[in-house]
Amino acid sequence: MQAMAVIRPLRPLRAASGKSGKPVIESRLEDFVVITGFSGAGKSTAMNVFEDAGYFCVDNLPPEMIRSLVELFVHKGSKVERAAVVSDVRGGVYFEALRAVVDDLDALGLSHHVLFLEAAEQALVTRYKETRRRHPLAPQGSVAAGVAAERALLEPLRGRADLVIDTTGMSAATLRERIADELLPRSSVGRLSVTFMSFGFKHGPPREEDVALDVRFLANPHYEPDLRELTGLDPAVVEYIARDGRLEELYERLHSLLDFLLPQYVSEGKAHLVIAVGCTGGRHRSVAIAEHLAERYRDHDALDVTVAHRDIDRWPGGV
């Protein structure tokens, strides 16, 4: 005999009673965002926006699990200050309870937002055809039938949303910018994490670079016995590299290039950028230049700058 699944009634979130008589809670949780809407409307892009802004993010979470997650977040020992969850029709029968969860969040007095993403039927059908994925509400049927079924299911929840965005004809970058402008704290908007990474070509190129610079044309300290075991962190090495004036010329051009590029990446909504600087061994020239660039851009308001030296600890054998 097969066991039958039992769906229990959703329990209300616990709250204490405040002076005003309204249920309130004391928590470090400053913002809780529920992302929902049509399949193919851009919920994954939306979640990435909040994740890049430092939110604790969970995808494809059934409403009952949202309740459990909120209880963890409002617990005295929780350190989570901002969180976002995606809940949609992939949650099956639990999805109907999402409206009840939103009611509970209202009753708690918890700062929260419901973001609803939609798009025209033809746009959703086209996106599914491009990805060749099946619609969750029509796994054996047409995408159009799945979209129609989803529309009927989502309509009541749409009216409860704090922000509805129609992504028809909207690029991912535009969607990111719209969400950031509407829902993110201003301190979280537009910051780009930039890593200046040094590496040695003899050890292979880095896998994660977005921009790569080859600086092997500069004077190589490896050939100087007194400098070989030092690194680009040592002033004597930097002085040697700069002795013929080409390093200064390089900086003049790099500064102009990066002064132009970095604001463009920020405006586009890019969250992470790795600028890799390569020399032969990854210990001298590339290290000095990565350090210089990191120092120059470290205090920029729109950037979070870090520096990484992939091969600086490798023994300087060969060239």
pLDDT averages per 10-residue partition of the chain, 319 residues: 34 42 61 88 90 88 82 83 84 64 79 88 73 60 72 80 87 82 66 90 87 96 94 97 97 97 84 91 97 94 88 74
Q: Backbone phi, then psi, for 304, in 5-degree steps?
A: -110, 105
pLDDT at 90: 61
CA distance 272 to 189: 13
The residues that bridge with 307 in the sheet, in sequence order, are 196
Tokens of 178: 């719209």
Q: Are 200 and 286 in contact (CB under 8 A)?
A: yes
The CA-atom distances, in angstroms, between 314 and each of 216, 236, 310 are 18, 19, 9
CA distance 218 to 216: 5
Tokens of 177: 């910018």
CA distance 155 to 149: 10
> Nearest to residue 234, comparing CAs of 195, 310, 285?
285
pLDDT at 280: 95
> Nearest to residue 98, comparing CAs of 161, 149, 55?
161
Place of tokens 């008589």: 21
Place of tokens 């002085």: 239
Considering just the CA atoms, what is the radius of gyration of the chain in Å? 26
pLDDT at 4: 33
Residue 64 gets the label, from left (phi > 0), alpha (psi -120 to 50) or beta, of alpha
Q: Are 262 and 205 in contact (CB under 8 A)?
A: no
Q: How crowded is residue 115: how many other Cβ atoms within 10 Å of its Cβ?
A: 24
Q: Are 271 and 52 in contact (CB under 8 A)?
A: yes
Place of tokens 């470090």: 28
The residues that bridge with 207 in the sheet, in sequence order, are none
pLDDT at 228: 93
pLDDT at 316: 66
Query: Which residues touch 65 (CB under 8 Å, ≥6 apart)?
Result: none
> Nearest to residue 37, comparing CAs of 114, 133, 93, 125?
114
Spatial strand order of the sheet with 31-37 comes to 56-58, 82-86, 31-37, 112-118, 163-166
CA distance 139 to 133: 9
